[in-house]
Amino acid sequence: MHLAMKNTLKPIIRNFIRKPAINLINLFGLAISLVFVIILSVYCYNELTTDTHHAGGDRIYLIGKPGAGMNTPAILKPHIDMEVPGVEASIRVAGTWQAPVFQTENGEPITSDLIFSDPDFFSFFNYKTVEGDCAAALNNPMSVVITKPLANKLFGRNSALGETIKYNNEKLLTVSAVIEKPTGNSFLNFSALTSIETRKILQPSEGEFKEWGWSNFQTYLLLGENADPTQVAKTIFSVFPKEFQKWVEEIHLIKLKDVYFSNLQTFGAHHVSMGDKTKALILLFVAVLILIIALVNFINISSSQWMERIKQTGVLKVIGATRIIIFRKVLSETFLVFIAAVILALVIMAGITPIIQSYTGIQFSTKLISSPKLLSILFTATLVFSLILSLIPGFSISSSKAVNNLKRSVDQNSKKTYLRNGLITLQYVISIVLIAFTTLIYKQVEFGSNNLVFNQENTIAVKLTPQLDKNIIKDEFEKIPEVQNVSMSQFYPGKQLSSWGTRLKLDGQEHEVHFTTFSADAEFFSIMNLEIVQGRLYSDASEKDKNKVIVNETFLKEFNIENPVGGTFEMNNNFDYEIIGVMKDFHFKSVENAIGPLAIINQGYASYGLATIQAGDFNSLSSTLKKINQVASQISPAFPVEVSFLDSAVKNMYESEVRFRRTFSLFSISAVIICAMGILAMSIFASQRRIKEIGIRKVNGAKVSEILSMLNKDFVKWVLIAFVIATPVAYYAMNRWLENFAYKTNLSWWIFALAGKLALGIALLTVSWQSWRAATRNPVEALRYE
Amino acid sequence: MIQLKKIDKYYDSRFQRTFILKGVNLEVKQGEFVSIMGPSGAGKSTLLNIIGLLDEASAGEYYFWDEPAHQIKEKQKVMYHRSHIGFIFQAFHLIDELNVYENIETPLVYRGVKGKERKALVADLLDRFNIVAKKDLFPSQLSGGQQQLVAVARAIIGSPKLLLADEPTGNLHSEQGEMIMSLLKKLNEEGMTIIQVTHNEKFAQYGTRIVKLVDGLVQEDYPVTNRS
């Protein structure tokens, strides 16, 4: 073993030193590609296996319709428990409208993601307990279960069990258990969990637990072994009162492991995150493409290298090496280079993963990277790939005659160059498709944030806290000279908005309607630049205008109403809310979603203050921002103050898009670079192989420019062929991707032109460097070579 | 020891058959030192390759150690290469990535000789060829003569019965050439059978017999009278 290692390792290392450029390209190219491939695969694996770690998850369902809402009324659970056969247990989960603030005795206020649930929560969802007993943790009101990271933030390294936490600077919660964050991915994200009984104390609300129209909870069901989900769904539907059945339409059950990819409308709920299977699969596909590019590079480089060393294998045969020995030599070299690349990749990854994660926002536990499962997969893959990749050079070298090897005349036949050129063309195809796709994704995100049809410029949003009273803050802000207008509303791009199902009384007729709604004052319309097209806007000064409603144009279209002015909505058996105007449509949700019916109500509630400020340069903007921050912090010392620009909030609304854009562009640019590395290596070989030809041509009077164009011509030809193949492929893929959007940018021809030009440019740049060196070489030197 | 009977070697192209060797009869006895001579393209190297089992004849019979070589299997050939035949070439053909010591050692590795014994054998030979000081150098660091010396050492480390040399002095200047030739002569005197291909009339005189090949035919075959 020792000897075999010595005899294979030494020549590899020496060969490496003799030809550093090619070998570094080979090793680092492979290692870097593996870094990207591994990171992407781990991420995609993590995404695609979301919530598969809950025991009994097969029988757990969420009530909700894929692509639509997930909220159900709180009153549904007692009815299900009593009236629906086949359901063994059920729990409700709700988040908070605003993330509350937790504080220890002397500690800093910390924003937490609190959710509420029934005591059975931990028999539905599996979490590892660090301290306390989860099963009984939610039995007493005002007790709270927190995650390890939050416990560390609040209590440091000390035990958190039994400690008290001040909630929103008013009530006290007692820690009854500490849990670990799951290693696997979950759609449910929270840092603190308390019971529904506690919710009744913290957020007292009469109607929430009585009204069928008040849907703030997600309901999870544990079905019996033999229960039929469709039947259960039907029975649940029959539980709803008649007048609500029309609005509910039908009940769907979503399997726990499918929830993450069911594209539920979360309306910005903090504790539920939705994944996108298409994006995960696209990224997985990118990983496969990078792997293909890397393997093509490896095949091309190593087979070219073996061709160069063919004489040597002839010698080995003459002095008594069998075919198997030679094949084993090829295999062990391939394996060693591969395993070195894997190790190098793991080392690079240890440093680079956090950077890539924070840049792209793709999240997965870093534990996954060092897991024995991944390592064993890597090792097996290395073995398999080395074996496959050795087959091509190994077979052609070991099967040829020793004499031919010595004469360097192993069939460099057309079949092999076709293969090599075909592989390079394939790489160009991949590059062009990736470049085109990246451009399109940029274009779509730009299109999205530029077409929201409301004003985002020079507007600052301040999140209100229990100490930041909206009237006081409005007065204080208006005292700042740079502030022009101040509005108080519940709107903030990307944040949770409530939806209503109720009846509309109009001209003596009753319509069943449902819509998204939030409260805002009149100033809101001028700040956001929203146009009233029918009726009038309410006035902040007039007390009479309280509870007046403005609906959007989609509302009219959706419910076939021509003039809604004068119509009233029912609430608590009163028809108090009167429609007085219609506004133009605007994207209150991100442009991925179609604009739905919307009603803005002058209720006087607010969770955000919006302020427009004078346009100015960066310095004046930031000093204004500082003033606003100061004012807010003075009034609200116990709560962290969050001040943000509206346009960046809009960008955040596209967080998942931006994340995807960054991830995709980072990885596709890397793929293109890796591809260029391979082509560089191939151009080195090409100019070496043709060194004699170049010499002869020069001796016979060829100019440097003629040699250059001769050498570059091949590579350009492949790019052109690749362009022809890539364009329809990219066109198809891009069209499919755009189908995900309700409002989409158009597929311009220039995207393809740009991708083709870039690919050609990159190819010429990489190839020309080598060609120039070969073409300017002294021909005598080249001819002496043999 | 070696017997060729009516050996033909030809290539078929689309319209005609090109003969490299035609009806070559040759017998080489143990202890002989045969120099094959002839103009370029006469088929000298092809003949040597056939004798060395690197190439196959198109027709005719070839007995290697009284075994019909035209029927020898691939595996058996490898065994002969390991233990019966040593090669040296005009272009030396040392392995660039291995140093002098390792180049000489490689055939022993393939023969499965144990480490200690290998060390002793290589050390012995380095000593005998006076290249102990060069054992850690790589081929590119040696002169042509030194490289050929290493190649000879590598060829004979397994103590083969037959040494085949394809223009061993072709890439050397005369002084180095003479050094290699006297080494070959000495090896022959110690009992090794040698067949060399050469253009050089003077170096042919180091052998015991000269075979002249013209256009694939044996034209002359005579013993060397006053060996140098």
B94 touches chain A (CB under 8 A): yes
A82 touches chain B (CB under 8 A): no
A293 and A163 in one domain? no
- In 3D space, the residue among A48, A608, A110 whose CA is nearest the CA of residue A275 turns out to be A48
Please state the rounded mean pLDDT for residues A537-549.
Answer: 85
Question: Containing H/E element for B63?
Answer: strand B59-64
Q: Summarize pLDDT for A197-227 with one digit per residue, the tens.
A: 999 888 887 778 888 877 888 999 999 888 8
Selected residue of A2, A3, A14, A318 to mutate for chain B interface (largest B Cβ count, 10 A): A318
Is A362 within 8 Å of A664 (Cβ atoms)?
no
Does the pLDDT of residue A246 top 80, yes or no? no
Mean pLDDT of chain A: 84
Beta bridge partners of A89: A222
> Alpha-carbon torsion A307, A399, A296, A47, what sign?
negative
Q: What is the dihedral of CA A38, A43, A49, A52, to 10 degrees?
A: 110
Query: Which of A3, A11, A322 is the closest to B78 by Cβ?
Result: A322
- Number of domains forming the structure of chain B: 1
Measure the CA–CA gap between A137 and A131, rounded to whole angstroms.
10
Cα B136 to chain centroid, rounded: 25
- Number of domains forming the structure of chain A: 3
Q: Which residue has the higher pLDDT, A250 or A98?
A: A250
Contact across the interface for B97 and A406, Cβ inside 8 Å: no
A209 and A124 in one domain? yes
Q: What percent of chain B has pLDDT over 70?
A: 100
- In 3D space, the residue among A218, A220, A253, A219 whose CA is nearest the CA of residue A235 turns out to be A253
B190 in any annotated domain: yes
| Chain B residues whose beta carbon lies within 8 Å of the beta carbon of residue A311 | 93
B109 touches chain A (CB under 8 A): yes
A254 in any annotated domain: yes
What's at A256, amino acid-wise? L
pLDDT-derived band at A412, boundaries 50, 70, 90: low
A610 in any annotated domain: yes
Query: Which of A3, A319, A320 is the closest to B115 by Cβ?
Result: A3
pLDDT-derived band at A264, boundaries 50, 70, 90: confident
A234 touches chain B (CB under 8 A): no
Measure the CA–CA gap between B63 and B69, rounded to whole angstroms.
5
Query: Which of B87, B94, B97 is the closest to A11 by Cβ?
Result: B97
A252 touches chain B (CB under 8 A): no
A744 in any annotated domain: no
Contact across the interface for A403 and B75, Cβ inside 8 Å: no
B194 in any annotated domain: yes
A14 touches chain B (CB under 8 A): yes
Q: Which of A97-106, A174-183, B105-114 has the lowest mean pLDDT?
A: A97-106
> How far A698 CA lies from chain B's nearest CA (Å)?
27
User: Quick one: pLDDT at residue A581?
Assistant: 92
> Alpha-carbon torsion B138, B141, B147, B153, what sign?
negative
Of A616, A637, A653, the one marking the end of a domain is A653
A3 touches chain B (CB under 8 A): yes
> How far B42 CA lies from chain A's nearest CA (Å)?
17
pLDDT-derived band at A528, boundaries 50, 70, 90: confident
What is the number of CB-based contacts under 8 A between chain A and chain B?
Answer: 61
Rounded (10°) angle between helices B100-111 and B74-83: 130
A553 in any annotated domain: yes
Contact across the interface for B55 and A401, Cβ inside 8 Å: yes
pLDDT-derived band at B6, boundaries 50, 70, 90: very high
Give the domain extent around B140. Answer: 31-56+73-223
A127 and A10 in one domain? no
B12 in any annotated domain: no
A489 and A513 in one domain? yes
Q: Which of residues 395-434 of A touch B (CB under 8 A)?
A: 401-403, 406
- In 3D space, the residue among A424, A341, A418 whose CA is nearest the CA of residue A379 turns out to be A341
Contact across the interface for B54 and A401, Cβ inside 8 Å: yes
> How far B26 CA lies from chain A's nearest CA (Å)?
22
A649 and A549 in one domain? yes
B18 in any annotated domain: no
Q: Summarize pLDDT for A70-82 with one digit per residue, the tens.
A: 888 888 999 999 9
A726 in any annotated domain: no
pLDDT-derived band at A3, boundaries 50, 70, 90: low
DSSP state for residue A520 in the 8-state scheme? B
| Chain B residues whose beta carbon lies within 8 Å of the beta carbon of residue A321 | 78, 110
A126 and A2 in one domain? no
Contact across the interface for B110 and A11, Cβ inside 8 Å: no
A518 in any annotated domain: yes
Q: Is B153 helix (H, G, I), strand (E, B) or coil?
A: helix
> How far A321 CA lies from chain B's nearest CA (Å)?
6
Query: Which of B87, B97, B98 is the closest to A318 by Cβ?
Result: B87
B156 in any annotated domain: yes
pLDDT-derived band at A8, boundaries 50, 70, 90: low
Q: Summarize pLDDT for A167-181 with one digit per residue, the tens.
A: 888 889 999 999 998
A248 and A339 in one domain? no
Give the domain extent around A175. Answer: 57-261
Does the pLDDT of residue B75 top 70, yes or no? yes
Whole-structure pTM value: 0.80
User: Quick one: pLDDT at residue A711?
Assistant: 83
A314 touches chain B (CB under 8 A): yes
Contact across the interface for B110 and A312, Cβ inside 8 Å: no
A250 and A189 in one domain? yes
| Chain B residues whose beta carbon lies within 8 Å of the beta carbon of residue A407 | none
B87 touches chain A (CB under 8 A): yes
User: Quick one: pLDDT at residue A786?
Assistant: 43
A279 and A222 in one domain? no
Beta strands B33-37 and B209-214: pairing type? Answer: parallel
Beta bridge partners of B28: B2
> How far A403 CA lies from chain B's nearest CA (Å)?
6
Is the interface score ipTM higher than 0.95? Answer: no
B21 in any annotated domain: no
Please state the rounded mean pLDDT for residues B49-53.
Answer: 90
> How far A377 CA lies from chain B's nearest CA (Å)?
33
| Chain B residues whose beta carbon lies within 8 Å of the beta carbon of residue A18 | 96-97
Residue B74: closest C-alpha in chain A: A322
User: Quick one: pLDDT at residue A595?
Assistant: 84
Beta strands A574-583 and A532-535: pairing type? Answer: antiparallel
> How far B84 CA lies from chain A's nearest CA (Å)?
10
| Chain A residues whose beta carbon lies within 8 Å of the beta carbon of residue B103 | none
Does the pLDDT of residue A413 top 80, yes or no? no
CATH code for position B35: 3.40.50.300
Of A653, A673, A691, the one marking the end of a domain is A653
Is B167 within 8 Å of B90 (Cβ atoms)?
yes
Q: Summarize pLDDT for A435-460 with one digit per residue, the tens.
A: 998 998 888 877 776 666 677 778 88
Selected residue of B95, B103, B113, B148 to mutate for chain A interface (largest A Cβ count, 10 A): B95
Selected residue of A315, A325, A400, A404 to mutate for chain B interface (largest B Cβ count, 10 A): A315
Contact across the interface for A320 and B110, Cβ inside 8 Å: yes
| Chain B residues whose beta carbon lies within 8 Å of the beta carbon of residue A314 | 93
Mean pLDDT of chain B: 90
Measure the CA–CA gap between B147 and B172, rounded to whole angstroms.
10
| Chain A residues whose beta carbon lies within 8 Å of the beta carbon of residue B158 | 320
Q: Summarize pLDDT for A459-509 with one digit per residue, the tens.
A: 888 888 777 777 888 888 888 888 888 888 888 887 767 777 788 888 888
Question: Containing H/E element for A261?
Answer: none
User: Quick one: pLDDT at residue A569?
Assistant: 85
Query: Which of B74, B89, B111 is the closest to A320 by Cβ?
Result: B111
User: Quick one: pLDDT at residue B155?
Assistant: 92
B105 in any annotated domain: yes
**Per the structure block, which two tokens stand in for A655?**
């967080």
What does the DSSP assignment read for A528-580?
HTPPEEEE----SS-GGGTTEEEEEHHHHHHHT-S--TT-EEEETTEEEEEEE
Q: Which residue has the higher pLDDT, A702 or A752?
A: A752
DSSP state for residue A105 in the 8-state scheme? S
What's at A109, amino acid-wise? P
Does the pLDDT of residue A723 top 80, yes or no? yes
Q: Which of A90-99, A153-162, A634-643, B96-105 has the lowest mean pLDDT?
A: A634-643
Does the pLDDT of residue B186 top 60, yes or no? yes
B5 in any annotated domain: no
Query: Which of A14, A321, A406 is the closest to B110 by Cβ?
Result: A321
Selected residue of B76, B96, B197 to mutate for chain A interface (largest A Cβ count, 10 A): B96
Beta carbons within 10 angstroms of residue B38's beta carbon: 22
CA end-to-end span of chain A? 38
